[in-house]
Chain A
Amino acid sequence: MHELCVRDLSLQLPNGKWLVQNLSFNVEPGQVLALMGPSGSGKSSLLSWLTGTIDPRLCASGEVWLGSTELTCLPTEKRRLGLMLQQDYLFPHMSVGDNLRFGLRGGSREERDQRISRTLAEASLAGMENRDPATLSGGQRARVSLLRTLLSDPCALLLDEPFSGLDATLREQIRQFTWQSARELPVVLVTHDEADIPARADILDLGKTQ
């Protein structure tokens, strides 16, 4: 695993207002960087810039590296950055198993099926391969969504308020599941809620960097 490195990132709105100016940070494998700050401070835009899906109206400059590979000019699909959003976005035309298969890379049919069964079992979702995502509970959906992201073998994980749509009990359960599953990856977490941030995390308050 490699560290995620952002150098001299500046994001500017079309009206000239700076969201972020000359921001640099490193996230080591296993480390969590929590981005905090008020609404409109550029947290989600920063994640969009990292994934290469930023609104083209925003003016952006800077570099992003994963180990020795520069990602800045790579298309989104080549960056290998896993993304989890507030909504789980499980594809409704696919079963739970197909959603996970969609994330998997390579392998024979048998290997893929075995890996999915094993992964589901590890997440206490055994036997749910053929379930329609619409029939799952909120917590089950969140877990499947995270598993799908992890099965795509990302080199870093970007989380954009992934726990905010869940109720309090479920939220704690999914937090534990996430930090345990992503323990070897560099993680960037966007959140408003300090309770979402694990003890080992560094905090970067974008409201104060401006």
Chain B
Amino acid sequence: MSLTSRWGQRVLALCLIGLFLLPVIMGLAGTLLPAFGLTPELAPGNGFAQLLADPRFLPALSFSVFTGIVSTVLILAMTLLTLVCVHGTRWWSWLSALMPPVLAVPHAALAIGLIFLLAPSGELVRLISPGLSGWERPPQSWIVPDSVGWSLIIGLVIKETPFLLLAAVSQLSALNVSASLRIGRTLGYAPARCWSRLILPRLYPRIRLTLLIILAFNLTVVDMAILLGPSNPPTLAVMLMSLVNDPGSRAAASAGAVLLGALVALCFLGMMLVEWVVARIAARRRQSGERGHGVKLFRRLGMGAVVMILIASMSSLLLLLLWSFARRWRFPDALPGQWTLTNWTSRSDMLLQPAMTTLLIAVTVTILSLLSAIIWLEFERRSIVPRIDGIWFVPLLIPQVSLLFGWQAVTLWAGMDGHWWSVVYTHWLYTLPYVILILAVAWRELAPQWGQAAHVLGAGYWRVLWHIRLPLLRRPLCQASAVAVAVSVAQYLPTLLMGAGRHSTLATELVTSFGGVDRRVIAALAVLQSLLPLMAFALALIYPVWRSARIARETGPSPSRALDR
């Protein structure tokens, strides 16, 4: 049975899906068994009893629920408001251009930038001091750090809104928005009401999965919660991280991870219930025939909210850059008094080695993810395997803590912990879904006639793949590569748990060093962490254009439009 036979290819596809699901199944088993006391040698004691006895548990749980749900609701509201108020206006192209950089910046780097903006000694306070505030020193009580979790919520909203917005925008073309709005408006409905009655009911089911992923992430995020959230109580995920590092509390950590998974599942159910109620109310209101009013104030409020988010995210990134080159920046100066390169050169050990490790892991993971996605999508195109989109999203819907605690225990048991390949394997698990998501649309839309035309000319399968299909899909392949780099660079928990402290990346270095290292070096670390995905996105944008220009030079002034995809 060779790999070129249909059965051989089926076996290869089975191996691929098996490799993908292995950490998920083993990870969940590795979390569930210790939680229920079934592995006493690995995690002694009754995990649930230990956890419930911990006085931090209930406050941490309620804090996680509050920040997770409020941030998700705000992200959804911001996305819908942006669509209703900005889509179709001249600001839309500006917004579309600014979204990818915000999306590319890793969570930890953005969180640090936000701290530089909102902290008592941050830029906001500096801008109003001493003139408006009268403060000569950073204030003792300020909006950050807050005990309620608003900083974490703001951070999550800024980071995740572009993600949901991008998912929504990618679906709008299928909904024929401009025609629906035109018909709705000629029937007498105000634009906002056309959106709420004609577009959003059809758009929402298409972005539901992305919203569930965001909800799961917001309820269980660790790196942003460590940086932006209060420490007493911390979020449940952060609390569990402190437990998992203590061998005596391993069972409690596993029990907590199970409860966190159950909490996420409960929130999913709650969200679906709310969806059902809202859908029924909306359906009833649709029949009322109320046309609504074109309220300019609403549009302005929406625009204002979008602008606020953009300003906060852009200024956070700018502050990282300023701090990384600052030599002397006294409070309340709005800008550094002196500039230097020392922050980059004096601690090169702290910057260079993690940067190299991050880059190496990201490149390896990107190549592996692209290869896996291409293999799978080619098999799917040739009907060797069925379309199983839902399976790829499983790791993104399970809290990282719930999956990785168990997966770490399994790798420990198998003697694979701390191995570089374990880190790469786990990064691949979280990168592949995004790569497949991006490539699948283009792969499925590519007209089969291109390949058929080449086959008729005598080209074999590999030649068609290499010379026709892949070049035609150059742009989505570049985008998928950039996203893969961004996802890998941002991975904190998989690197920390699988690396066993032996593989320090920019993400782990940034979170663990924060608070203990000079903020100027931290800023340099964050800039470096942001630069990698930003460069990947820039390359993904430039390379297809450069290739098309080269083809145009070689073949004359009007190259095939297909090559310009």
Chain A residues with CB under 8 Å of chain B are 51-53, 56, 75-83, 85, 87, 89, 91-94, 98, 101-107, 109, 112, 148-149, 152, 154, 158
**In this assembly, does B390 line the interface, its C-beta being within 8 Å of a C-beta of chain A?**
no
A117 → chain B closest CB, angstroms: 14
Q: Which of B179, B197, B287 contacts A112 (CB 8 A)?
A: B287
- Is A76 touching B180 in the complex (CB atoms < 8 A)? no
Find out whether the CB atom of A94 lies under 8 angstroms from the CB atom of B187: no
Distance in angstroms from B432 CB to nearest chain A CB is 33
CA distance A104 to B188 in the complex (A): 10
Q: Whose C-beta in chain B lies nearest to the C-beta of A92? A: B202
Given that A87-B179, A92-B202 are known contacts, is A103 also in contact with B187, CB under 8 Å in the complex? yes
Pairwise interchain contact B190-A104, C-beta atoms closer than 8 A:
no
Q: Are A104 and B289 in contact (CB under 8 A)?
A: yes
For residue B201, CB closer than 8 A to chain A, the reply is yes
Give Cα A92 to B180, complex, Å.
11
Question: Are A89 and B202 in contact, CB atoms less than 8 angstroms apart?
Answer: no
- B289 nearest CB neighbor, chain A only: A104
Residue pair B187, A148 in contact (C-beta under 8 Å) = yes
9 A-B pairs, CB-CB below 8 angstroms? A51-B182, A77-B291, A85-B182, A101-B286, A101-B287, A102-B187, A112-B287, A149-B186, A149-B187
Q: How far apart are the CA atoms of A26 and B179 in the complex, in Å?
A: 27
Contact at B183–A89, with CB atoms within 8 Å? yes
Instruction: Please determine whether A91 and B289 come into contact, CB atoms closer than 8 angstroms.
Output: no
- Number of residue pairs spanning A and B whose beta carbons lie under 8 angstroms apart: 76
Over the window 168-186 of chain B, the binary record of Cβ atoms lying under 8 Å from chain A Cβ atoms (1 yes, 0 no) is: 0000000010011011011
Classify chain B's interface size.
20 to 34
* A152 (CB) vs chain B CBs: closest residue: B187
- Chain A residues with CB under 8 Å of B185's CB are 51-53, 75-77
Report yes or no: A80 in contact with B289, Cβ–Cβ below 8 A: no
Contact with A along B277-295 (1 / 0, CB 8 A): 0000001001101010010
Quick check: A89 and B197 within 8 Å, CB to CB? no
Assembled-state Cα–Cα distance A81/B179 (Å): 15
Given contacts A53-B186, A56-B90, A85-B182, 9 further A-B contacts (CB under 8 A): A51-B182, A52-B185, A53-B185, A80-B188, A85-B183, A101-B289, A102-B289, A103-B187, A107-B289
Interface secondary structure of B, over-half rule: helix
Residues of A within 8 A of B176 (CB): 89
- Known contacts A77-B294, A101-B289; decide if A91 and B188 are in contact (CB<8 Å): no
Contact of A76 among B90, B186, B286, B289 (CB under 8 A): B186
Contact of B179 among A80, A89, A102 (CB under 8 A): A89
The residues of A that contact B195 with a CB separation of less than 8 Å are none
- The answer for the CA separation of A87 and B176 in the assembled complex, in Å, is 11
| Residues of the A chain whose Cβ atoms lie less than 8 Å from the Cβ of B179 | 85, 87, 89
**Cα(A78)–Cα(B198), bound, Å:** 18
Once A94-B286, A98-B287, A106-B289 are accepted as A-B contacts, the answer to whether A77 and B188 lie under 8 Å apart by CB is: yes
Partner of A93 from the list B186, B191, B201 (CB cut-off 8 Å) is: B201
Residues in B lying within 8 Å of A, measured CB to CB: 90, 176, 179-180, 182-183, 185-191, 197-198, 201-202, 283, 286-287, 289, 291, 294
Contact status B186-A82, CB under 8 Å:
yes
How many angstroms from the CA of A81 to the CA of B185 in the assembled complex?
Answer: 10
Select from chain A the residue with minimum beta-carbon distance to B191: A77
> How far is the CB of A129 from the nearest CB of chain B, in Å?
11
Interface hub of B182, B197, B198, B283 (most chain A Cβ within 10 A) = B182
Residue of B nearest to A53 (CB): B182
Q: Which residue of A lies closest to B201 (CB)?
A: A93
Report the bound CA distance from A79 to B182 in whole Å: 12
Name the residue on A nearest B205 (C-beta).
Answer: A93
Residue of A nearest to B188 (CB): A77
Knowing A75-B294, A77-B291, A91-B180, the reply to whether A102 touches B186 (Cβ < 8 A) is: no
Which residue of chain B is the closest to A85 with respect to CB atoms?
A: B179
In the A-B complex, the 4 residue pairs with the closest CB atoms: A76-B185, A83-B186, A152-B187, A101-B287
Looking at the assembled complex, report how far the CB atom of A103 sits from the nearest CB atom of chain B, in whole angstroms. 5
Chain B residue nearest to A107 (CB atoms) is B289
B186 pairs with A112, CB closer than 8 A: no
B200 shortest CB reach to chain A, Å? 10
Residues of B within 8 A of A158 (CB): 186
Instruction: Take A89-B180, A102-B289 as given contacts and tell me if A81 and B186 are in contact as well, using a CB distance cutoff of 8 Å.
Output: yes
- Among B188, B197, B287, point to the contact of A105 (Cβ < 8 A): B188
User: Which chain B residues border A75 with CB–CB below 8 Å?
Assistant: 185, 190, 294
Contacts of B197 in A (CB 8 A): 102
Per the bound structure, the CA–CA distance linking A89 and B181 in Å amounts to: 10
Question: Separation in Å of the A64 CB from the closest CB of chain B?
Answer: 14
- CB-defined contacts of A51 to chain B, threshold 8 Å: 182, 185-186
Interface centre among B179, B186, B188, B291 (most CB of A within 10 A): B186
| Chain B residues whose CB sits within 8 angstroms of the CB of A94 once the complex forms | 286
Q: Which residues of A contact B183 (CB under 8 A)?
A: 83, 85, 89
Collect the chain A residues with CB atoms within 8 Å of residue B188's CB.
77-78, 80, 105, 152
Q: Is the CB of A83 within 8 A of B182?
A: yes
Whether A76 contacts B198 in the complex (CB less than 8 A), given A101-B289, A106-B289, A148-B187, comes out as no
Residues on the B chain within 8 Å of A78, using CB: 188
Given A53-B182, A148-B187, also A91-B291 (CB < 8 A) = no
Residues of B within 8 Å of A109, CB to CB, are: 287
A154 partner residues in chain B, CB cutoff 8 A: 186
Q: Which residues of the partner chain B approach A91 to less than 8 Å between Cβ atoms? A: 180, 198, 202
> How far is it, in angstroms, between the C-alpha of A93 and the C-alpha of B198 when the chains are bound?
8
